[in-house]
Structure 1
């Protein structure tokens, strides 16, 4: 079975890494399975892409389509064209896509247009907010995928209730957590930890990148300023996304507790998160990781496609509600946060289950 794996953005690499490891393991055991890795180039600088390949031991991609930048439509169109040409030159039995970025949706469409089966890892999750580009990508990718692998039973049930063939939807767990557990012992103290004399559980981590939070410069800066005031003297480490940097405009000399860094690698960032008192973020993936690591997390979003992180994990939704944000920060500071409970099948074995299903599927191709 020849599989083309697609990765295009930072979260994709985290999800692809354990799948590559499992394919290699099964091939060494004699199973008829091989892969070809295609990097679409959606995230193209070393901090946003290349460093993850090094840290997660991902082999260099077989090709890089270099489809970076531009508008949503331009990026999607360039990936569609480039990936179609790549598939024509390198036929395969199945295309596997992960997550919900533009690369996921565009590569799924290119494959289906060439009558190549598509498997979607992290299928069935929904925010039910069509203002989010990721939500459109999820819906379209799920609609045309031949195999859907879900992180939760609820996501599986949703797809089946939506008309998907129950024999082609599988609850397998979370490959992002596979990576987290695989690399947890290798988390690396970043230079900023030493430089700023950080102490465990006495600082915060913040990330912001979604258009709803960062595209309005005035709103973004007021939000950050309020958060800093609520937190007080404790330091806030803020690895800043390139999109956020364009709108950021606070005077740092007035906010000595705000420590801005470039985007960090996977091992350094998760070291910071694991040892933080709390996390404020608009990232879905980080809420999964904080839930497994037991770190309090405040989502600066109105909704989430990962309700299990709220129901069982350490996450809460605050949106931009200043009262909620302030109250949640106070709860964390006073050590009154909820404890995480185990999330079913988030056990580090999702990749193994996925490859098992793919090998069975190969017999009916």
Structure 2
């Protein structure tokens, strides 16, 4: 019997870890798996809006262990997670530490596990933005530098790992577990309260999400972006589920834009209902660009780079940059129905987690 620690700490992790739990449970139910898991929540995202609702909606069981790290600086959170996870492993070590994505919890738990002689598997390994101003890029590079086995989402990620000297026998191109979650729950998506209160109709509104410091830290930059969006969406409602960081800045700015509607953070099922039926999505998130690609929804990314280039080369995403002056021509094309038609990247088919669990069985039971 082999036991895997599944590490989850922030909202993007929950969407990526849920199908792996499902696949492990399914393998156990069939009676042919010697793999067991222990779900460890680091508490990096610790409030109900950012964490609890995702567990409920995605059918994730209560964590076996919650490190309850809470808020703090990058260093404080990293240190808290490392100290907490080390205590767990000293008391009861597992056979593998499986981390997903690129948040602080991913890097911190990988370091602890490897220093204690426990192998690490990284789901979503190999992606790179080459932007060292992003904390996530540092997390990715550090994690991948000590990872044993990589489960990748794209050929680009595979190539990044090869260039870094990773051998083929450690790279497994499996697909995208975030898309596993989307496809599983697509039929359960439900309209949020604002669908009725704003009288929204399909294709007749846009969705905005902004949270990166380059876009939201500073009243003038944020307002300039929102003004450009409002001025170039032809008066259709623009729904903005407001990240806590952004909400603070908006309150301080105190400026109203008639077509811009700020709503509270939404759960998974409600947010993706909005995305699925939107005319387009304007975002600085990486994960949302993957979901819009699979849903066939136009996506404008307010960044100069992306760690998910397949959403641009294959999917519906375009990099617009962070300059508000670049928004009008892109929004004009969107509103005129002249956006490019995307396709779905290889292996984004809802079966990534099944491939991961099958491969983990071969790797762990052979060791």
Task: Sort the TM-score into its range (normalised by shorter chain).
Answer: over 0.9
The residue that corresponds to 1:195 in the other structure is: 197
Deviations 1:268-300 (A, max 9, x none): 000000000010000000000000000000001
Tell me, what secondary structure is at the counterpart of 1:303? Answer: coil
Counterpart selection for 2:287 from 285, 288, 296:
285
The residue that corresponds to 1:72 in the other structure is: 74
The residue that corresponds to 1:32 in the other structure is: 34
Matches within 5 A, 1:132-211: 132-211=134-213
Deviations 1:105-148 (A, max 9, x none): 00100111111000000000000011100000000000101101
Q: CA deviation at 1:323?
A: 3.7
The answer to whether residue 96 in structure 2 is matched with residue 94 in structure 1 is yes
CA distance in 2, matches of 1:161, 1:232: 46
Matches within 5 A, 1:50-69: 50-69=52-71
Q: CA deviation at 1:250?
A: 4.5
Q: Is contact 2:7–2:98 with CA below 8 Å preserved after alignment?
A: yes
Structure 2 length normalisation: TM-score?
A: 0.97
The residue that corresponds to 2:229 in the other structure is: 227
CA distance in 1, matches of 2:88, 2:216: 35
Tell me, what secondary structure is at the counterpart of 2:232? Answer: helix
CA distance in 1, matches of 2:345, 2:4: 29
Tell me, what secondary structure is at the counterpart of 1:68? Answer: coil
CA distance in 2, matches of 1:16, 1:89: 24
CA distance in 2, matches of 1:8, 1:322: 33
Q: CA deviation at 1:175?
A: 0.3
The residue that corresponds to 2:10 in the other structure is: 9
CA distance in 1, matches of 2:301, 2:108: 28
The residue that corresponds to 2:241 in the other structure is: 239
Tell me, what secondary structure is at the counterpart of 1:4? Answer: strand
Structure 1 length normalisation: TM-score?
A: 0.98
Q: CA deviation at 1:157?
A: 1.9
Deviates more, 1:280-289 or 1:164-173: 164-173
Q: CA deviation at 1:103?
A: 0.3
CA distance in 2, matches of 1:260, 1:323: 23
Where structure 1 has 5 or more consecutive residues not aligned to the other structure, the ranges are none
Deviates more, 1:324-333 or 1:32-41: 324-333
- What is the aligned-residue RMSD (CA, Å)? 1.0
Counterpart selection for 2:112 from 100, 110, 114:
110
The residue that corresponds to 1:311 in the other structure is: 313
The residue that corresponds to 2:271 in the other structure is: 269
CA distance in 2, matches of 1:250, 1:333: 28
Deviations 1:55-108 (A, max 9, x none): 000000011111121111111111010011112222110010000000000010
CA distance in 1, matches of 2:82, 2:245: 24
Q: Is contact 2:128–2:160 with CA below 8 Å preserved after alignment?
A: no
Q: CA deviation at 1:242?
A: 0.7
Deviations 1:30-68 (A, max 9, x none): 210110000000111111100000000000001111112
CA distance in 1, matches of 2:64, 2:230: 44
CA distance in 2, matches of 1:264, 1:342: 26
Where structure 2 has 5 or more consecutive residues not aligned to the other structure, the ranges are none
CA distance in 2, matches of 1:91, 1:356: 22
Q: CA deviation at 1:247?
A: 1.5
The residue that corresponds to 1:338 in the other structure is: 340
Q: CA deviation at 1:340?
A: 1.2
CA distance in 1, matches of 2:91, 2:27: 26
Q: Is contact 2:113–2:120 with CA below 8 Å preserved after alignment?
A: yes
CA distance in 1, matches of 2:106, 2:206: 32
